[in-house]
Amino acid sequence: MQTVSSYGVELRKQNIPVRQTLEIYRSAVSYLTEIYEQVWEKLAEIPDAKRRFNAAEHLVHTTKKNPARFDFDLRFPKMPSYLRRAAIQHALGSVSSYETRMDLWEKSGEKVGKPRLAYENHAMPVFYRDVMYREEKEGKDEAYLKLYDGHDWKWFCVHLNHTDMEYLRKNWSGKKASAPTLEKRHHKYFLRFSYTEEVTLTKTPVKEQIICSVDLGINTDAVCTIMRADGTVLGRKFINHPSEKDRMYRTLGRIRRFQREHSSAQSRGRWAYTKRLNIELGRKIAGAIVKNAEENHAD
């Protein structure tokens, strides 16, 4: 069985045009989404996904044998071909999803909840190896990215967080890695690396397997029950993180008091902090569940 794991490496603060690159890529996706909505009827007639993609690219990219119908190349000059194709794929997916939802809504006969095609997007560019991303020598916390500086696409040396790179070298050295994706979290930028590896499943007969059953609760974070396939319970563990939950409840209480005195719009930053606490709590619960399953040799 194949498993895919990912890890984000922080880009250290430096004078590189990451924000400009992200803005030009999202603008390209928005423009392409608008185009493909206009011509979707003709694109939808092409059943093969590869041929549909080629037809969509021919509409916006000029070659010696193909004059483009739309001025994408003029609006976004010298955009790398891999990045352009990623933007096309994202735009096609958005329009296809919108058309499917619209068709279902029309068939349902409902008068409210009409689907809306969002042109503003949160697409993130993929830095394809060798053409958009190059690794520095082994042991160095640096890499090269092709970024847009406002005039042209150029190679920039980026410094990566040393702790993150040490973790990757220690745990993922030699594993098959995919092209990194740009990620933005809390005003910081990361490169998200994905690794694929083969995992051998247990060969224990089903009737002899040990199972870890998980019940995500309300009063407790989770209850893990170790049991045999016939239902015999071997052990049970209650997972709880009272201090983390108490911190989150206190934060929610402060937000409620703040919203009574001020508007909801002014509390966005407080909600973002609470969301981070909730995500961190979820990670701790997941880690505790996996640790309990490993300790009890669950299949």
Q: Which of the listed ranges 18-22, 166-170, 204-208 does the model predict with the highest average pLDDT?
A: 18-22
Could you report the per-residue pLDDT of 31-72, keeping only the tens digit for each? 999 999 999 999 999 989 999 999 999 999 999 889 999 999
118 pLDDT band, cuts 50/70/90, is: confident
**Res 124 pLDDT > 80:** yes
> Is residue 147 a contact partner of residue 20, using CB atoms and an 8 Å limit?
yes
pTM tops 0.85, yes or no: no
**Res 13 pLDDT > 80:** no
For position 135, what pLDDT does the model report?
85
Mean pLDDT of the chain: 89
Per-position DSSP letters for 105-126, written without gaps between them: HHHHT-SS-------S-----B
Which amino acid does the sequence have at 243? S
For position 112, what pLDDT does the model report?
81
Of 19-23, 24-28, 56-60, 269-273, minimum mean pLDDT range: 269-273
Helix axes 242-261, 268-295, angle to 10 degrees: 170
Over residues 128-148, the mean pLDDT reads 88
